[in-house]
């Protein structure tokens, strides 16, 4: 019965609620394969019944920069990698999560958002200011003194207060904007370690993001922290364990890894794949993993990592195993942070591969939980200026050539409005003899922007299943995500522990 939760069929046969039958004489295409498939899809939709139970667990998946074209292209990319029809393929979250809405990603001060206020919106329920984390619209960007009185309480702080376990997993630095939104309050998202604090920041009362994580006062702290960003927790005198010629970044004398270890008798700190694999969730009350000095590897490059890194799916599975030891339940954020970075680089291959890795993580989570009592949400913080264009034939490689332009040169199906794929005062490159499916190929762009393509302002998708997932419908404000989670968990009504 576990798998029925995706459609919650309340004891009613699928045949009894099947889509209407069509007389052969009235509708001539009833034997067409697409027609038959659509009838089956309709029957599944008719069978859906809202789940209004209480959510014991919540898992919020964030594909950083996962625009709707990214989902479409990744769907085709995954299918073609598997040797099946890409266009009709489904990523795991498309197949498993039946409720869908569109999320409006603008912020309090900007048409086009960055990851800091959008993540804040999802975990606090308010729209804030670009470049700031964990604060309301009352804050002033880069004005540390303005944070006081503008702090916003996160769903993770609420969860800890009522005895739920909490976790944050990311392939980016754990001090980066999206994961940091679960715990930090700061007027400048770039202050990830103390060496980035100015005298004015210090005078204004700013504390760097890494220190805020280790000093986080909510409950007994995160039960799971897994990601990158090791240098922000290490002293500048400390050699990195994976790269002896590199050191930490901290100048304040605080070895934050050591401080974290001292806080928890049941804690385990890991920095490589072997240590991660050796963790016994039944014996680990707190797990802290930092697998890179900065961001973790792209999924495409992960197997080449010197010390080894777990995949996003493996980190998600381990996080659930640790968090599930709490009978009260948990709230977990899982971020595929490097979709965004690949798009900024104009590198569609790695963006799509990391989107597929997110799909794998969603499937791993779904298979571990009871979906009747777990609210699973998959969304993005913002989009990118990434497009699918031309008139390529069905089953044409998604990373391939779509056609020939008026300049007599081939152009690819995938491209960017701006970014490093365009060069100032240079004509568009001729792709005739270029392998556009190479992982290192950078898609062409229209507007030259040096090393980094920009975010875009279009809506992104929200897909969900579980208790109260049906509240995601229509076109909604991004900060509604927090309010649905709060409703599903009834967290405000829980007594403090």
The residue behind tokens 């992104």 is 460
Distance CA 337, CA 169 (A): 10
Closest CA to 125 of 149, 163, 165, 158: 158
Supply the DSSP symbol for 278. Answer: T
**Contacts of 451 by beta carbon, 8 Å cutoff, 6+ apart:** 345, 420
Distance of alpha carbon 384 from the chain centroid: 14
Residue in 67, 92, 115, 128 annotated catalytic: 115
Residue 454 burial (CB < 10 Å; 0-12/13-18/19+)?
middle
157/183 Cα distance (integer angstroms): 7
Paired tokens of 271: 């920095």
CA 99 – CA 476 distance, rounded (Å): 13
DSSP annotation string for 392-433: PPTT--TTSEEEE-TTS-EEESEEEEEETTS-TT-PPPP-TT
Q: Which residues does residue 180 pair with via DSSP β-bridges, in sequence order?
A: none
Check: CB of residue 7 under 8 Å from CB of residue 466: no
With H, G, I as helix, E, B as strand and everything else as coil, classify residue 28.
Answer: coil
Helix (H) or strand (E) run with residue 157 in it: helix 155-161
The DSSP secondary structure of 49-80, one letter per residue, reads ----S--SEEEEEEETT--HHHHHHHHHHHHH
Active site annotation includes 115: yes
Beta-carbon count within 10 A of 93 CB: 25
C-alpha–C-alpha distance, residues 441 and 438, integer Å: 5
Phi and psi at residue 38, in whole multiples of 5°?
A: -65, -35
Token readout for 240 is 């990195």
Distance CA(95)–CA(101), nearest Å, equals 15
Between CA 451 and CA 220, with CA 201 as vertex, the angle to 5 degrees is 95
Return d(Cα 304, Cα 286) in angstroms, integer.
28
Task: Give exposure, 170-203, as e/b (b: 16+ Cβ within 10 Å).
Answer: bbbbbbbbbbbbbbbbbbbbebbbbebbeeebee
Neighbours of 215 (CB within 10 A): 15
Catalytic residues: 115
């Amino acid at each position: 019965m576990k798998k029925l939760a995706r459609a919650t069929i309340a004891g009613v046969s699928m045949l009894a609620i099947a889509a209407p039958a069509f007389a052969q004489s009235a509708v001539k295409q009833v034997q067409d394969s697409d027609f038959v498939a659509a009838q089956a899809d309709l029957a599944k939709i008719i069978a859906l019944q809202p789940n209004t139970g209480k959510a014991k667990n919540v898992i919020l998946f964030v594909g950083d920069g996962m625009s709707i074209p990214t989902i479409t292209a990744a769907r085709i990319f995954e299918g073609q990698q598997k040797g099946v029809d890409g266009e009709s393929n489904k990523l795991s979250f498309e197949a498993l999560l039946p409720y869908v809405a569109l999320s409006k990603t603008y912020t309090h001060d900007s048409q086009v958002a960055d990851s800091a206020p959008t993540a804040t919106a999802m975990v606090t329920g308010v729209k804030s200011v670009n470049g700031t984390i964990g604060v309301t619209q009352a804050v002033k960007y880069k004005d540390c003194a303005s944070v006081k009185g503008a702090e916003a309480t996160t769903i993770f702080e609420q969860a800890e207060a009522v005895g739920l376990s909490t976790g944050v997993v990311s392939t980016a630095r754990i001090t980066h904007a999206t994961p940091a939104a679960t715990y930090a309050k700061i007027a400048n998202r770039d202050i990830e370690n103390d060496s980035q604090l100015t005298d004015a920041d210090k005078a204004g009362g700013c504390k760097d993001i890494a220190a805020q994580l280790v000093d986080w006062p909510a409950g007994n702290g995160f039960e799971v922290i897994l990601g990158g960003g090791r240098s922000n927790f290490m002293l500048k005198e400390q050699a990195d364990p994976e790269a002896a010629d590199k050191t930490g970044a901290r100048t304040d004398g605080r070895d934050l890894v050591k401080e974290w270890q001292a806080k928890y008798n049941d804690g385990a700190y890991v920095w490589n794949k072997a240590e991660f694999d050796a963790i016994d969730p039944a014996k680990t009350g707190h797990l802290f993993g930092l697998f890179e000095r900065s961001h973790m590897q792209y999924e495409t490059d992960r197997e080449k990592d010197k010390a080894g890194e777990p995949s996003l799916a493996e980190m998600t599975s381990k996080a659930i195993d640790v968090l599930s030891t709490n009978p009260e339940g948990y709230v977990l954020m899982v971020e595929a942070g490097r979709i965004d970075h690949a798009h900024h680089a104009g590198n569609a291959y790695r963006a799509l591969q990391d989107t597929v890795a997110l799909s794998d993580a969603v499937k791993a989570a779904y298979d571990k939980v009871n979906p009747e009592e777990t609210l699973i949400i998959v969304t993005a913080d913002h989009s990118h200026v990434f497009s699918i264009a031309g008139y390529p034939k069905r089953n044409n490689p998604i990373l391939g050539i779509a056609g020939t332009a008026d300049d007599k040169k081939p152009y690819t199906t995938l491209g960017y409005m701006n970014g490093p794929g365009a060069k100032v005062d240079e004509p568009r490159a001729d792709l005739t003899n270029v392998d556009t499916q190479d992982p290192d190929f950078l898609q062409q762009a229209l507007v030259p922007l040096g090393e980094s393509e920009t975010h875009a302002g279009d809506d992104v998708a929200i897909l969900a299943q579980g208790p109260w997932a049906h509240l995601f419908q229509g076109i909604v404000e991004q900060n509604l995500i927090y309010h649905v989670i709060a409703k599903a968990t009834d967290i405000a009504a829980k007594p403090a522990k």
